[in-house]
Structure 1
Amino acid sequence: MEYYIKADRFLLESEEKIGGYLLVENGRFGNFVNKVPVCAVVEDWTGYTVAPGLFDTHIHGIKNYDVMDGTVKAVQEISAILPELGVTRFLPTTLTSSKHDLQKAILAVKEGIDKGLPGAKSEGIFLEGPYFTNKHKGAQNPAFFRNPSYEEFTEWQQLADGMIVKVALAPERPGSIDFIEKVSKENVFISIAHTDASYECCRNAIKAGATIFVHLFNGMSGLHHRKPGAVGAALLNNQTYTEIICDGFHVHPHMANLAFQIKEEKLVLITDCMRAGLMPDGDYSLGDFQVKMNNNIARTVTGSLAGSTLTLIDGVKNFYKWSRKGLHIVWHLASLSPANSIGKGNQLGSISPGKLADYVVIDENFEVQMTAITGEIIYKRLNI
């Protein structure tokens, strides 16, 4: 299948283009041109912007579904909802829980992928836990915290048929460095999270193979001028990627700007969204905890933030407003940077010849008008 997209603006990998046409051929992007052949098929989006599909590498659930429900239906419903939010790729994300519940969730994701996801496509599973420590536990259940086990991970990876691509842990736990060295050699990306680790401990974890810091400033030892902590390690290492939640509650806008000034394209916008996303205020659950959402902020009964209810496109919109950077730059923090963080940037995350044709059409208010995955339109607003 071959067609051209016409639009007012295109967010290409290396620049913004005004006007023109973008070729889509056999599910991949072709060249950007100023004229099209006679009789060419054209998708006309005059008045709109075409951008790469968003990639949420850290999402637990949305619209009252959660990966930890442990059902194929939950995974498929999350997938089906995401394209209307401009998301074309995601990593279904687990929580610290019992071994039984984690296995159930892993198998549900695998089965959902095997049966075929109706919307956004999974690029693998993200295990957030259970190898964390108490001090910065957030909404993770400490009853199931334990030291990293390569044997346990191998068992889960076999259940997942190799689909686990990312694991988060606290590097101060005994056995972490050995675990990181082994697992990172298996094309699995190690993230540092829910940790009270020192700067030096984090540096050792990076040397062993850790490459990502999870939700910067949240769930980690803070920045101090004599003790840089996990935050300092995240900001001061130019090889690692750093996730950030730009909902205005988890991180102050000025601190998000500071993080970008330091990390630039290594900053990764995520949601950490849980089942209350797109839902009204009220009572929900996150793993084993009861959660109350008020004014779109989800908290446990003890007052800890419990994930977020952010959508990724709203995170982009927020950071675009806070940073006053070009939309081309900000957008790629939620598309190309996430793809790069798990080694998928050569296939996904930007509009470039040869890459998979995942794209979204937005208006001037960031409202998603249409979403396509590998060139196939899978969502279009009803009033279009």
Structure 2
Amino acid sequence: MKKVKIINGHIITPYRIIKNGSLLIKGDKIELISEVDIETLDYQIIDAKGNYISPGFIDIHIHGGGGHDFMDGTEEAYLKIAEIHATYGTTAMAPTTLTCANEELLEAIDLYKSANLKNTKGAQFIGLHLEGPYFALNQSGAQDPKYIRNPDVEEYKEVIAQGENIIKRWSVAPELPGAVEMGKYLKSKNIVAAIAHTDAIYEEVLDAVENGYSLATHLYSAMSTVSRRDTYRFAGSIEASLLIDAMDVEIIGDGIHVPPPLLKLVYKIKGPDRIVLITDAMRAAGMPEGDSILGNKETGLKVIVEGGVAKMPDGSSFAGSVATTDRLVRTMVQMADIPLVEAVRMISKTPAKVMGVEKNKGTLTAGKDADVLIFDENINIKITMVNGNIVYTSPDFA
């Protein structure tokens, strides 16, 4: 059994940093964390060189990267996305679909099953996230409007049956006819029900939360805010997500989708135990800027990547992000003035809780999966380890 000891690093726990600590790994599990260097025999030694030792980053909303998209319909896309994002610190991810025909959702499930068996060089898959097609047309954003529709009981039950134990979350506009009933069904199947691409007012979100919904997908993006109807003001889904304590929220922490003042506001209201940092990355993540495609490479929407973000060609909206998980943490620390320990918690412990994998992932704790990072003070990744296996080493960290 492989045994590894990482020494001379600052270990990030959910609530503090252990200076000059050491971490022992046996096989694919964390064996021990210590504040001193423990004498061992037959362990491979990794010198962290005074850098941080962190739990791996968990991305629960991601579409692509490295020129690939999960909607491309190939195993290669799944495997290459997992590999490219591991170089930026992602050790676990939830592959995410886009609004599409029902047949494509079923195909995505089958591809997940087959690719998951071959995924040994990148971030681990922890379940499929279906984003759409049950959205408010007015909040479609970069989702293809021709596929947007109301929840169909027979349709979503067929998809869930085929994706049993694979589909882990589904994003839906809660105000649509049948959406509340769908939320109840999702909860009964232990699938995280999230509100997304929605024009809902506060009362509709509250009703949804009381019937199974527990997460807000990419807060501030494609969500309703305060509106006036017949001279009266109504709180929207953004305000509801912030106000309802039972709700967790995702934020695309690239500093662009949600600018620093709003990052600070969300942090102040929800705190690190209710915030999940996500990339929402599309295929252009990790690629040069310029023209790209959101979704299937043959039938997807043309977009432009410039200034560190993807946009619709007419500039009407953002079209997914090109963020990587290291950038999320860097942004939260450097632009939103959030402590490193709490920024890391929002990309490790909190998403593990939301996705129901906290028994095995999310913290550097004895007995949990050895998903470990070493990075410097600017969150530049030096080593990425998934289940005890090193899948990436920075060229300057040999």
TM normalised by structure 2 equals: 0.93
1:286/1:306 contact within 8 Å kept: yes
Large movers: runs of 4+ above 4 Å: none
1:150-201 per-position Cα deviation (integer Å, ceiling 9, x unaligned): 3222322333343010000001110111111011111100010000001000
Structure 2 match to 1:145: 148
2:53/2:373 contact within 8 Å kept: yes
Superposition map of 1:194-273 within 5 A: 194-223=197-226, 226-264=233-271, 265-273=273-281
2:60/2:93 contact within 8 Å kept: yes
Alignment partners' CA distance in 2, 1:179 and 1:101: 20
2:122/2:391 contact within 8 Å kept: yes
Find out whether 1:333 has 2:340 as its counterpart: no
2:255/2:335 contact within 8 Å kept: no
Superposition map of 1:90-109 within 5 A: 90-109=93-112
Alignment partners' CA distance in 1, 2:140 and 2:284: 20
Structure 1 match to 2:288: 280
Structure 1 match to 2:303: 291
Kindly provide the amino acid, as one letter, of the partner of residue 290 in structure 1. K
Kindly provide the amino acid, as one letter, of the partner of residue 129 in structure 1. G
Alignment partners' CA distance in 2, 1:326 and 1:252: 18
Alignment partners' CA distance in 2, 1:161 and 1:117: 23
- SS, match of residue 264 in structure 2: helix
Alignment partners' CA distance in 1, 2:343 and 2:96: 24
Superposition map of 1:167-186 within 5 A: 167-186=170-189
Structure 2 match to 1:187: 190
Return the offset for 1:38. Answer: 4.5
Alignment partners' CA distance in 1, 2:74 and 2:267: 37
Return the offset for 1:49. Answer: 0.9
Alignment partners' CA distance in 1, 2:40 and 2:176: 64
Structure 2 match to 1:30: 31
Alignment partners' CA distance in 1, 2:234 and 2:201: 7
Alignment partners' CA distance in 2, 1:93 and 1:382: 30
Structure 1 match to 2:361: 348
Superposition map of 1:7-22 within 5 A: 7-22=8-23
- Summarize the Cα distance change of 1:120–1:190 in structure 2 as closer, same or farther, 3 Å threshold: same
Q: Which of 128, 136, 139 is the equivalent residue of 1:133? A: 136
Kindly provide the amino acid, as one letter, of the partner of residue 258 in structure 2. V
2:9/2:22 contact within 8 Å kept: no
Number of positions where the alignment pairs a residue of Structure 1 with one of Structure 2: 384
1:13/1:352 contact within 8 Å kept: no
Find out whether 1:61 has 2:67 as its counterpart: no
Question: Structure 1 unaligned runs (5+)?
Answer: none
Structure 2 match to 1:308: 321
- Summarize the Cα distance change of 1:35–1:297 in structure 2 as closer, same or farther, 3 Å threshold: closer
1:88-129 per-position Cα deviation (integer Å, ceiling 9, x unaligned): 000000000122222222222221113334211100100000
Identity %: 34
1:284/1:290 contact within 8 Å kept: yes
- SS, match of residue 24 in structure 1: strand
1:7/1:49 contact within 8 Å kept: no
Question: Structure 2 unaligned runs (5+)?
Answer: none
Alignment partners' CA distance in 2, 1:370 and 1:115: 22
1:250-292 per-position Cα deviation (integer Å, ceiling 9, x unaligned): 1110111100111112011001110111222221111331111
Alignment partners' CA distance in 1, 2:116 and 2:160: 15
- Summarize the Cα distance change of 1:224–1:22 in structure 2 as closer, same or farther, 3 Å threshold: farther
Alignment partners' CA distance in 1, 2:118 and 2:33: 35
- SS, match of residue 201 in structure 1: helix
* RMSD value, Cα: 1.6
- SS, match of residue 196 in structure 1: coil
- Summarize the Cα distance change of 1:169–1:47 in structure 2 as closer, same or farther, 3 Å threshold: same
- Summarize the Cα distance change of 1:298–1:38 in structure 2 as closer, same or farther, 3 Å threshold: closer
Return the offset for 1:372. Answer: 0.7
Alignment partners' CA distance in 1, 2:332 and 2:57: 14
2:247/2:274 contact within 8 Å kept: yes
2:14/2:342 contact within 8 Å kept: no
1:5/1:23 contact within 8 Å kept: yes
TM normalised by structure 1 equals: 0.96
